Amino acid sequence: MLSYLRIITLLIIVPTVMSCQSPSEELPSSAIESKIDSLIRLMTIEEKVNMIHASSAFTGGGVERLGIPELITSDGPHGVRHEHGRDWAKDENVYDSSTYLPTGTALAATWNTELGYKFGTVLGSEANFRGKDIILGPGFNIIRSPLNGRNFEYLTEDPYLNSRLVVGYIKGVQEHDVAACAKHYIANTYEYEREYVDVKMDERTMREIYLPAYISAVQEGEVLAVMAAYNKFNGTYCAHSKYLLDDILKGELGFEGLVMSDWNAVKGTEAAYVGMDLEMGTDLAIGTEDYGKFHMGDTVVGLVEEGKLDESILDDKVRRILRVMFQINKFGDRKKGQYNTPEHQRTAREIANESITLLKNQDVLPLKKELNKLAVIGGNATWKHAGAGGSSQVKAYYEITPLEGIENTLAESTEIVFSPGYGIGKNGQATDEMIAEAVANVSSADAAIYIGGWVRGYTDEWDDNVFDAENVDKPDMFLPFGQDKLINAILKANPNTIIVIMGGGPTDMRAWESNAKGIVQAWYPGMEGGNAIAAVLFGDVNPSGKLPMTFPAKLEDSPAHSISSYPNENLLIDHKEGIFVGYRHFDTREIEPMFPFGHGLSYTSFEYSDLAISRNEGQVTVSLQVSNTGSVQGGEVVQLYVKDMESSLERPEQELKEFSKLFIEPGASVMVEFKLDSSAFKYFKEGEGWILEPGDFEIRVGSSSRDIRLKEILTL
């Protein structure tokens, strides 16, 4: 029974607290904090505890008595997932088909931070329209192993590219009164036994490779939510880690938003004592809908009442959740999102266009459109990916397949013959009959395009998952469904066949790469992907994508598999490679990749000249001229790497420290200028922090990590 005083307070304070704020009158943080203070003062312990754990599959608890609604979350990182009911049952007959954006590695392959922002604006606007408070993205775990089932959702192997791309994405989302959620914190870089593996790494590796993108997400992107990963980190669950959540994230980085767990990632009430603010998941409530059973549920009420858990710790969790609610104007007249607009689809297309990466071109691309007969081979030419792959699935408003894109591009007069060549699914194979049909079609055509690669698995009937998907990793880097044999057969029939590979990461191409003259990496390019692939193949778009991760020739060359243990049967994933992830390993150990980090060709050519380096106090300015020496407009990603010529601790051969994507008209030149501060030259030394050792540094600028065009020594 509420005391008389409480009722009066409610009548006075709650309306005041919940008074509408229009986005234009953004409340100063002091006003928000005092409103939060008022609410917390009114809450019972039970009500506070109700706020810090899930109340259904995708919601966090509210306090109805005080007018505090539930917090509503939704996947995923490249499109707003379909409606789940409160218990995972798909809501039928609801308007929940969304804009399906290119997935993470496709966005990263654009190397275009402005597109990162545009990506975020689409995602934020659609999440807002669908009534979501938090969209569960961006996911930006470092791409450490080529086999990680979720590489397609993430961005890159390089911490600097990672850091630059997440900022725009987060700002784009949060401009629509929706919180972005940086995930999965930290080092969840494989799916193998993800809820139980223990990641071991030293502090230098964490700070130089895995933490930078979180620093920029928090301090530049001002991300409002962070999701703690399933795995352990140096022996402690991420969701239970004082070091990760309090010391680093909330302490050192100054994160003021909320930390949620991955679903069911909280494994005990000890999480309540550290910076875990919101326990998500449903395992503990399945069938009972009693979310009080959560580790951070009823038990916490008792701990606080018995003085075993200081109420101030509980209050801080509630404060952070309420702070996010205020910052997305949940109590105010929120901005209005849009959904499935032509503009959103144009953005999806723009990103797809710039993501397509031309890996090899021996004068076979672009193809002429004037063809009598075109053979299109490969199950991926007609396969749709959006709805699979796990939590990042999207019920796409539409998804243009590569075959449809090609049909949209060519005149009616061109005869297009299609052969799948291989079956996709549990026992999908390139049978002899399918290969024979494909070879016959290729042999009788003027040109041939192969669309193959990986698919986003898994659907229920596929238990032997060899695809890009959550919860499992690939067994190897070889294309599934017997594609290598098929590719060689059609290349023998027509050596000019263009090979297009879709997928989230590297493929072992050794079986056929030397026979192919044209190879294109198409990633998972979203709902407009088919049109973008066709536009690049037929020259309507000049490819400008660059690899955001190394494509090893073979898996054994990858540091995660040659130096380290992956996966390790005793659930220990020891990152023995340390900072030597990706090209840092290949370049330092002088291992030839199939295609290097930062690689991507164009239909035009670029010349680099006039490199000039100057210093002014703590800043180094690097300028150069880039000219388009070809005949068509093109996009070039100018990459700047730094090599420390001599250091007391071993450092990588080179490290990406700046980049810029430029579109240059044929015959034109552009002056590029980079400003480097001391951080571009430092490395982390345990016990001493970030160190700048005076001496010589080589500044390298180029079109990829292995295509350095100009370099000069700078002495600091």
Residues 360-419 contacting ligand GLC, CB under 6 A: 391
Return the DSSP state at 569: T
* Helix orientation angle between 113-129 and 342-355, rounded to the nearest 10 degrees: 150
* Helix, strand, or coil (residue 694): coil
Q: How far is CA 669 from the centre of its chain?
A: 33
Using Cβ positions, the residue closest to ligand GLC within the complex turns out to be 391
SS3 7: helix
Q: Which positions from 636 through 695 interact with ligand GLC, judged by CB under 6 A?
A: none
Residue 271, interface with ligand GLC (CB under 6 A)? no
Is residue 158 close enough to count as binding ligand GLC by CB under 6 A? no
Catalytic residues: 262
- 502 by DSSP, 3-state: which? strand
Q: Kindly tell me which residue out of 17, 40, 136, 179 binds ligand GLC, with binding defined by CB under 6 A.
A: 136
Peptide bond into 377 cis (omega under 30): no
Task: Please return the burial class of 16, using the count of CB atoms within 10 Å of its CB with bins 0-12, 13-18 and 19+.
Answer: exposed
Contact between 468 and ligand GLC per CB under 6 A: no
Between 263 and 606, whose beta carbon lies closer to ligand GLC? 263
Mention every residue, 6+ apart, whose C-beta is less than 8 A from residue 522.
355, 356, 357, 402, 451, 453, 500, 501, 502, 529, 532, 533
Smallest gap from residue 75 Cβ to ligand GLC (A)? 5
Rounded to the nearest whole angstrom, what is the least distance from the CB of residue 77 to ligand GLC in the complex? 8
Among 47, 75, 83, 354, contact with ligand GLC (rule: CB under 6 A): 75
Say how many residues make up the chain: 716
* Position among 100, 154, 160, 263 found at the interface with ligand GLC (CB under 6 A): 263
User: Using the rule CB under 6 A, is 262 a contact of ligand GLC?
Assistant: yes
Query: Which is closer to ligand GLC, CB of 43 or CB of 280?
Result: 280
569, 612 Cβ separation under 8 angstroms? no
Q: DSSP 3-state assignment of 212?
A: helix
Place of tokens 């990496």: 521
183 belongs to the binding site for ligand GLC (CB under 6 A): yes
Give min distance, CB of 80 to ligand GLC, in A. Answer: 12
Instruction: Please report, as a single letter, which amino acid is at residue 211.
Output: L
Q: Closest CB to ligand GLC among 191 and 484?
A: 191
Inter-residue contact 291 to 61 (CB < 8 Å)? yes
> CB of 678: closest distance to ligand GLC in angstroms?
36
Please state the closest distance from residue 263 (CB atom) to ligand GLC, in A: 4
Buried b (16+ CB within 10 A) or exposed e, 672-692: bebebeeebbebbbeeeeeee
Cβ atoms of 145 and 198 within 8 Å: the answer is no
Between residues 382 and 391, which has the closer beta carbon with respect to ligand GLC? 391
Look up residue 47 and give its two tokens. Answer: 């009500």
Nearer to ligand GLC, 149 or 525 (CB): 149
Q: Please, which residue, 75 or 473, has the CB nearer to ligand GLC?
A: 75
Cβ 153 to ligand GLC shortest distance, Å: 8
Least CB distance from residue 659 to ligand GLC, whole Å? 28
Q: Would you say 504 or 600 has its CB closer to ligand GLC?
A: 504
Site size toward ligand GLC, by CB under 6 A: 6
Please answer whether residues 180 and 223 qualify as being in contact, where contact means their C-beta atoms are separated by less than 8 angstroms.
yes
Q: Which residues bind ligand GLC (CB under 6 A)?
A: 75, 136, 183, 262-263, 391
